[in-house]
Amino acid sequence: MALLLRTLQKSRISPSHSSRTLISWVRCKSLLPNPQSRDITTSTAKSPFQSNILRIIRNEIEYQSDYAPPHQPATEFKSFSVEDCPGEQCIVMKGKFGEDENIKMEATMFDGFMTVPRTGLDASGRDVRLHISLLVDISKVDGSEEIEFLCSVWPNRIEIQKLYKLRRNKITGQPYMGPNFGNLKYDFQTAIREFLRVRGIDSELCFFLHEYMMNKDRIELIQWLRKLNSFIAQ
């Protein structure tokens, strides 16, 4: 303050006049726009196009959450544990058969479809049946050998496409994958289906997987929309 008074005296300006001048300068400075705050306002402002996209995404999130909202995924089915893979297009199921067999199944989300003639009173047109790919791995507890089944899962049945046998402790460049299952003798096909059925791989599993994947599809869609909304809103 003393330094300010000495400066004012040298300039022949009275302290009272100086105070008024200083206060006026502070007031004027406070009215001037802050360049930093202006930059922040400009950077956070959304263009009409961006705001419209965000509105559409948020409306879709609200619609998907309110219409047939997804429920908590099941963690078990019969004797199998069910492991969801959030953000991925598959689930893993694990179980045992007897004392010496481990069963592991990997199922995809819907990856195809077929159309079939519509039945019932309204028989015009066609219905869509969704497809799930299923890999069934049955191995001995000691891990020495295993057989794998590549299957198509429809809402009401399982179709075996391939059956092949592997040895985990033997490295092969291109293992023989076996013939197309449909080309095998009928009695052989029937025996293999029964082999899977007694291990819980049956029509009930088909229904469970289709219900599970319908729910997972809604969960993944909502999460995808939320991530998209967060990215565009930044």
| DSSP assignments along 92-112, one per residue | EEEEEETTTEEEEEEEES--E
18-22 mean pLDDT: 41
Confidence at 44, pLDDT banded by 50, 70, 90: low
Q: How far is CA 144 from CA 69, 101, 138, in A?
A: 44, 11, 11
Q: What is the mean pLDDT of the chain?
A: 82
Query: Which of 227, 140, 149 lies closest to 189 in space, CA to CA?
Result: 149
Q: How many CB atoms lie within 10 A of CB 67?
A: 8
DSSP code of 183? G
pLDDT score, position 145: 82
| Per-residue exposure over 143-160, b if at least 16 CB sit within 10 Å of its own CB, e if not | eeebbbbbbbbbeeebeb
Confidence at 22, pLDDT banded by 50, 70, 90: very low
**How many DSSP H helices and E strands does the chain contain?**
6, 8
Model confidence over 58-84: pLDDT tens digits? 999 999 999 889 999 999 999 999 999
Confidence at 6, pLDDT banded by 50, 70, 90: very low
Q: Is 18 left (phi over 0), alpha (psi -120 to 50) or beta?
A: alpha
**Contacts (Cβ under 8 Å, ≥6 apart) of 63:** none
